[in-house]
Structure 1
């Protein structure tokens, strides 16, 4: 008599939630080549939130919890847990950078709105404060980008049957695409590299109605404000535009941050079960 043993590996047909994760990954990968405009970044953050919401549902599946709880797979689970804290750290860096920029922008807007002839020195001081803040933020963002790239692919899976790592490899794909989106976010906030400017131009923004400035072909809102501060006439409109963009990014990052925490808690619950 022939006996058939039931395989403990994952079924050949993926679970619907796994397929949903694949769909989200495909959508985000297809958007990687798009521009780093504010609308594009906001869209990526929204898609990334949906992906991590799907991941959290994937982590609630018994087959996922069984896979990650297995002793031979706990190393991978711990790596995913380490990755989750790195993603939260980068998300925090981006949130802090936006918050700092927003504060400086609101100070500038307030002074421009009530501008009088005797407030030239104050406006110049706030403009200098903003540009100095931008310089500091860029250094922080560049360091965060370098750290993220250096740690993103530092570990690999052992050689095992493909079916046994379906869930884990999918979660690693999620981590990789999340890193890619964060690179877009940090690059957007940092803005493209521009020629160094003299502080004398900053001091003249309150004395001249028009200062010649050279904008790059594909600037984003941050780069536009950096240049617009040399021309008071356009600075106010550009500041309003940038504040609106920052608001969208802050909301997207805050929502994503909460979802990343939720995912990390789910991973911790699995490992501590």
Structure 2
């Protein structure tokens, strides 16, 4: 391979040192990536008009990703404006609401919606943290009063698990899901015919139903477990207070006796 052909093969890689240098100098990441793309395009022989057209096309194709990124600051602003507090206040007014019932209802809705392809209907950032976890916590507080930190963390963990498990098993039923299409294509490439996305989705239904039954059973026992843990925590706290009072009484008796003997 001569020097000219080698240089022509290396030119498309010129954007890599641009990115490394830009990040090392702590320039704006968006500016660094844009300049690297422009330099790479010009180095490979693209005219400036075609390069701008390519940039615009790629931006339009990825606009859905950009809109998804906008959800996070919106959720942050809603939380700052009191979204969690409003969710807690609303659930506190429903006497029949319990932590287990709220999580069970969310699990069913989340798995069914994921099976229908509505994967973005819920989520950790946009639903679990600002809405589901505060609502489940408020239901427990409405029944038991102030909750200790371990109980709050346990409720938050169950809320996060509901979303993860329901999404994981529900999305496998949706025939247009990326993993289902990947499995179908992989099997066809390896000579296994007759395995269509519809059949893969149908075989995902029994697993999703098993996950639904098992997780609903676990959640049905959550309220009793929370009540038991809170009772044990309060008994422990009362025992610690009794020990503290006994220690203070012993010290007072010693001081009084010392004063009498003197």
Q: Which has the higher contact order (CA 8 A, sep 6+)?
A: 1
Specify if TM > 0.5: no
- Structure number with higher helix proportion: 2
After TM superposition, the score normalised by the length of structure 1 is 0.29
